[in-house]
Amino acid sequence: MIRPNFKGYAVNCLNYFGGLTTTQVAEKIEDCDKMLDAYLKELRERQIAGGGTGRVLVFLNSGINGTETTTTWPAAAQRIIDRITSRWVLTGGSASNLAFVFTLTHPTTDGAVAWTANRAAVATAANNYAAANGNTYNLAVVDIAQLMTGLVMSRYSMYDSGGQAHLTKVAIPPAAVTTATDGYEAIVQSIVSSLLAST
């Protein structure tokens, strides 16, 4: 849908890499230059045609799949940023109009998942990486665990009925909301609200 004279924001999905580690996502991103070129150029040009400045915010949630470490996660994040930034600039975009928000997957107590043991250390490494590189790459790293302990998830159970691989948002009585919905929606709403408040 194109609304050439309407200013606002749009959400587009480059790809869904279900079940991949952050390193594997980086490999996929590095292997799709032509798709990235067309995708990023189209996003920017449609915004400019509608009177906007042509800005893109790249969002990635990863961590729970496989064995993430304090070195693999930051290294993969840097690879993703480098490749998307290079294709963005190559196709005419200004680096100042490109930004990144990466989230660390929610915590789990499932002993069968390596993420259970590694998550705290990886989150610390990711936060340190963002602190060192955030201004350079317009990057923010968000630890979902911190949001889950706040008001955004306090009225809800945290996990879906199939285990702890995904978040849910099923109200816990006596909360007013009684329908099941996507727990990631609550997380993203909190992140977007913070971003909009800081502009």
The model carries a pTM of: 0.84
| Cα of 171 vs its chain's centroid, Å | 24
pLDDT in tens, 150-160: 644 555 566 66
| Residue 11 forms part of a structural domain | no
In a domain, 145, yes or no: yes
CATH number at residue 26: 3.40.50
Residue 7 within any structural domain of the chain: no
The three-state secondary structure class of 196 is helix
Q: How far is CA 15 from CA 28, 63, 148, in A?
A: 10, 17, 26
Among all chains, which residue has been given the structure tokens 């800081």? 198
Q: What is the mean pLDDT of residues 63-87?
A: 94
pLDDT the model gives residue 152? 47
Residue 187 lies in a domain: yes
Tell whether 9 is covered by a domain: no
Radius of gyration in angstroms for the set of CA atoms belonging to the chain, rounded to a whole number: 18
- Quote the domain boundaries for residue 111: 22-198
Q: Which two three-digit tokens encode residue 75?
A: 């290294």
Q: Is residue 1 a part of any domain in this protein?
A: no
Q: For 44-65, what is each residue's pLDDT tens digit?
A: 988 888 788 889 999 999 988 8
Mean pLDDT lowest among 84-88, 109-113, 122-126, 167-171: 167-171
The secondary structure of residue 172, as a DSSP letter, is P
Domain count, the chain: 1
Examine residue 36 and state whether it is found in any structural domain, yes or no. yes
Is residue 44 one of the residues assigned to a domain?
Answer: yes
